[in-house]
C-alpha cells in the first residue's frame, strides 16, 4: 500500500513537471496588409495617375510634327491636328526651343498618345487633345501672391545686403530702377543707410516660386533723410501705376535716363562729330548710343503712343513714340520690334530688342530725342516731372496709404540675418480660366 502511494506521488510530480516545462502556445499575429493609395496628381486639368506621362523640352530645330511622329502619330493625322487647332493656338508658329512640353499616353499595352501640353510660359499652357475628337484650349495655372516684408541696414551695398538675406536681386533692380531712380543714387549709398520694404512674391500652383511680383511700399533712409514710396494706380483705364511719397508727390520723372537697363553709354549726342572712316569730315550724331548685347530689351522711356514701327535705310528697324505735344523719342537698329503703330505704351514697357540693323558697327540702340520737333540732347534737357496726382485722387491716395505707412513704420530694422522671420500672408489666389 505504501509503495503504491509512493508511485502515485512520483507520477503526479512528473505530470505537473512536464506540464510546467511544456512551452505555452505562441500567439501568432496576423500581418495586416496596409494598402496605400497613390497620391492623386492633378495638373493641366488632368488626373495624371490615369496616364503614362512623358515630359521633355523642345530641342533646337525640333518641330511639333517631329515630336508627334516620334510618338506614334503619322503625318496625315499630324497635319489634321495642326490645321484643326491653329485658330485656337498656332503651335507650329509659336514653338520655341527650350520650352517644356508634356505627352499623356493611354495606360494600357498600346500606350497611344492622348494629349499634348505645351508651356509657352511658366503660367500659361496649351492643351491639344486628339484621343477622340481633335481640339485645343489655352489656360493658366493657378497663381498665389504672398505679401512679405524685409528690412536691413547697408554695410556695403543694397544688393549684398539683400543677397545675405536670401532675397532675389530683382528687388534691388525694382528699388533702384523703378522706384528711387530719380531720388536716390544707389551707387552712392552710405554705410548705415536703412530700408524697409513690403513686397509681393509670386507662386504658381501654390508651391512653385516664380519670383518677386511687385513692390507695394518702401522706406529708405539715406543720409538720415527719409524717403517713402507707395504704389498707387492713377489711371485704371490705361493701367498706369506710379510711386508717390507720403505727401503724394510723384517719385519719378517723365522720362527714364536710358532705354536699356544693362548696357553702357557708348556715344553721346554730338553735332560736331568727326569719323576717320569718312575722312574726318563732320558727320553730326543726333542720337545717344547705348551699347548692349543683341537681344537686350529696349524700354519706352516715357508713356506715349507709337507713331512708327518699321524699317528704313540706315536706321534699320526702329520704333518712334509721341509722348505729348512737346516730346517724341525714337529707338534705332533693333533686331526685333515688339509694338505696333497706334499702340499705347507705358514707361518701362519693352518695345523691341537691341540689334545691328541699318548702318551700325556693333550692337546698340541709338536713342533719339525730339523737343518741339527738333532733335536735342536728352542729357541737357530739364526734363519734366511725371504727371502729378490729381486733386480728386490725392485725398483717396492719402487715405489709402495710412494703414500701409503704419505697417512700414512698425517693421523693425534687422541688421543680422534672421531665419523664418518674414511675414508671409497670402493676399490673392487667382485661377484664370
pLDDT tens per residue across span 281-332: 656 678 888 888 999 999 999 889 999 999 999 899 999 999 988 899 999 9
Average pLDDT over residues 4-28: 49
What's the pLDDT score for residue 426? 52
Torsion of CA 17, 18, 23, 24, to 10 degrees: -80
- Percent of the chain at pLDDT > 70 equals 82
Question: Is residue 399 domain-resident?
Answer: yes
Give yes or no for a contact between 318 and 306, defined as CB atoms under 8 angstroms apart.
Answer: no
Q: Which of 98-112, 139-153, 230-244 has the lowest mean pLDDT?
A: 230-244
Residues 313 and 168 in one domain: no
Tell whether 237 is covered by a domain.
yes
The CB-side HSE value for 392 (13 A sphere, CA atoms) comes to 2
Lowest mean pLDDT among 16-20, 273-277, 384-388: 16-20
Last residue of a domain, one of 114, 140, 166: 140
Both 98 and 148 in one domain: the answer is no
Query: Whole-prediction pTM value?
Result: 0.59
Q: What is the pLDDT confidence band of residue 83, given thresholds at 50, 70 and 90?
A: confident
For residue 402, is it within any domain? yes
Asked if residue 164 has pLDDT above 90, the reply is no
Integer CA distances (angstroms), 39 to 42, 46, 50, 167, in order:
10, 14, 12, 33
For residue 115, give its domain range: 42-140
- More confident site: 283 or 39: 39
Say yes or no: 176 and 192 in one domain: yes
Q: Are residues 78 and 171 in the same domain?
A: no
Are residues 156 and 243 both part of a single domain? yes
Identify the residue with better confidence: 76 or 307.
307
pLDDT of residue 431: 43
**Is residue 36 in a domain?**
no
Domain-embedded: residue 22: no
pLDDT digits (tens, 9 = 90+) for 368-379: 999 999 999 888
* CATH number for the domain that contains residue 327: 2.70.70.10
User: Which of 140, 165, 182 is at the close of a domain?
Assistant: 140
The residue count for the chain:
433
3-state secondary structure of 56: strand
| pLDDT above 50 (res 226) | yes
pLDDT of 163 strictly over 70: yes
Q: Are residues 49 and 79 in the same domain?
A: yes
Residues 246 and 300 in one domain: no
Query: In CATH, what number is assigned to the domain containing residue 426?
Result: 3.10.450.350
Sheet holding 51-57, edge to edge: 51-57, 100-106, 113-118, 124-129, 135-140
Query: Residue 95: is its pLDDT beyond 80?
Result: yes
Please provide residue 287's backbone torsions phi and psi, each rounded to the nearest 5 degrees: -125, 175
Say what the pLDDT of residue 244 is: 93
Q: Is residue 61 part of a domain?
A: yes
Q: What is the mean pLDDT of the chain?
A: 82
* Helix H or strand E segment including 92: helix 91-94
- Residue 56 main-chain phi, psi, to 5 deg: -165, 180
Q: Is the pLDDT of residue 30 over 80?
A: no
Residue 232: pLDDT band with limits 50, 70, 90: very high
For residue 409 the three cell numbers come to 513704420
In a domain, 178, yes or no: yes
291 and 353 part of one domain: yes
User: Is there a single domain that holds both residue 224 and residue 154?
Assistant: yes
Instruction: Determine how many CB atoms are found less than 10 A away from the CB of residue 376.
Output: 15
Write the pLDDT tens digit of every residue in 169-188.
889 888 887 888 778 878 77
Identify the domain boundary among 86, 110, 140. Answer: 140
pLDDT band per the 50, 70, 90 thresholds, residue 26 = very low
Q: What pLDDT was estimated at residue 41?
A: 85
Please tell me the distance from the alpha carbon of residue 374 to that of residue 269, in angstroms, as a whole number. 13
Same domain, 242 and 148: yes
Contact 391, 179 (CB under 8 A): no
CA-CA distance, 128 to 130, in Å (whole number)? 7
Number of domains in the chain: 3
In a domain, 108, yes or no: yes
In this structure, are 422 and 355 located in the same domain?
Answer: no
Of the candidate ranges 23-37, 53-67, 113-127, 346-360, the one whose mean pLDDT is the lowest: 23-37
Domain shared by 155 and 128, yes or no: no
Amino acid at each position: 500500500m505504501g509503495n503504491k502511494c509512493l508511485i502515485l506521488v512520483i507520477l503526479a510530480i512528473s505530470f505537473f513537471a512536464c506540464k510546467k516545462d511544456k512551452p505555452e502556445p505562441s500567439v501568432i499575429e496576423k500581418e495586416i496588409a496596409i494598402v496605400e493609395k497613390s497620391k492623386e496628381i492633378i495638373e493641366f486639368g488632368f488626373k495624371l495617375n490615369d496616364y503614362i506621362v512623358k515630359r521633355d523640352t523642345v530641342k533646337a530645330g525640333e518641330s511639333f510634327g517631329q515630336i508627334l511622329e516620334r510618338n506614334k502619330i503619322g503625318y496625315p493625322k499630324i497635319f489634321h491636328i495642326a490645321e484643326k487647332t491653329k485658330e485656337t493656338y498656332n503651335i507650329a508658329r509659336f514653338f520655341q526651343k527650350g520650352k517644356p512640353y508634356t505627352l499623356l499616353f493611354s495606360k494600357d499595352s498600346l500606350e497611344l498618345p492622348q494629349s499634348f501640353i505645351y508651356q509657352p510660359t511658366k503660367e500659361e499652357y496649351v492643351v491639344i487633345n486628339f484621343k477622340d475628337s481633335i481640339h485645343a484650349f489655352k489656360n493658366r495655372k493657378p497663381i498665389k501672391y504672398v505679401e512679405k516684408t524685409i528690412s536691413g541696414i547697408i554695410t556695403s551695398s543694397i544688393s549684398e545686403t539683400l543677397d545675405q538675406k536670401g532675397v532675389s536681386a530683382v528687388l534691388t533692380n525694382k528699388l533702384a530702377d523703378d522706384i528711387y531712380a530719380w531720388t536716390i543714387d544707389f551707387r552712392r549709398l552710405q554705410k548705415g543707410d536703412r530700408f524697409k520694404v513690403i513686397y509681393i512674391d509670386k507662386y504658381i500652383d501654390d508651391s512653385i516660386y516664380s519670383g518677386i511680383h511687385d513692390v507695394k511700399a518702401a522706406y529708405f533712409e539715406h543720409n538720415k533723410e527719409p524717403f517713402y514710396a507707395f504704389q498707387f494706380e492713377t489711371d485704371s483705364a490705361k493701367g498706369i501705376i506710379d510711386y508717390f511719397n507720403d505727401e503724394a508727390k510723384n517719385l519719378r520723372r517723365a522720362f527714364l535716363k536710358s532705354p536699356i537697363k544693362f548696357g553702357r553709354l557708348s556715344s553721346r549726342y554730338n553735332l560736331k562729330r568727326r569719323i576717320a572712316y569718312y575722312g574726318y569730315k563732320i558727320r553730326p550724331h543726333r542720337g545717344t548710343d547705348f551699347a548692349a548685347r543683341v537681344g537686350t530689351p529696349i524700354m519706352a522711356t516715357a508713356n506715349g503712343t507709337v507713331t512708327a514701327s518699321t524699317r528704313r535705310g540706315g536706321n534699320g528697324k526702329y520704333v518712334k513714340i509721341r509722348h505729348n505735344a512737346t516730346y517724341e523719342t525714337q529707338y534705332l537698329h533693333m533686331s526685333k520690334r515688339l509694338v505696333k503703330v497706334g499702340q499705347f505704351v507705358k514707361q518701362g514697357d519693352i518695345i523691341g530688342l537691341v540689334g545691328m540693323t541699318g548702318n551700325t558697327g556693333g550692337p546698340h540702340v541709338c536713342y533719339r530725342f525730339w523737343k518741339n520737333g527738333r532733335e536735342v540732347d536728352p542729357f541737357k534737357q530739364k526734363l519734366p516731372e511725371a504727371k502729378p496726382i490729381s486733386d480728386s485722387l490725392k485725398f483717396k491716395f492719402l487715405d489709402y496709404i495710412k494703414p500701409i505707412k503704419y505697417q512700414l513704420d512698425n517693421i523693425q530694422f534687422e541688421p543680422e540675418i534672421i531665419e523664418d522671420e518674414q511675414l508671409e500672408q497670402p493676399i490673392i489666389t487667382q485661377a484664370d480660366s
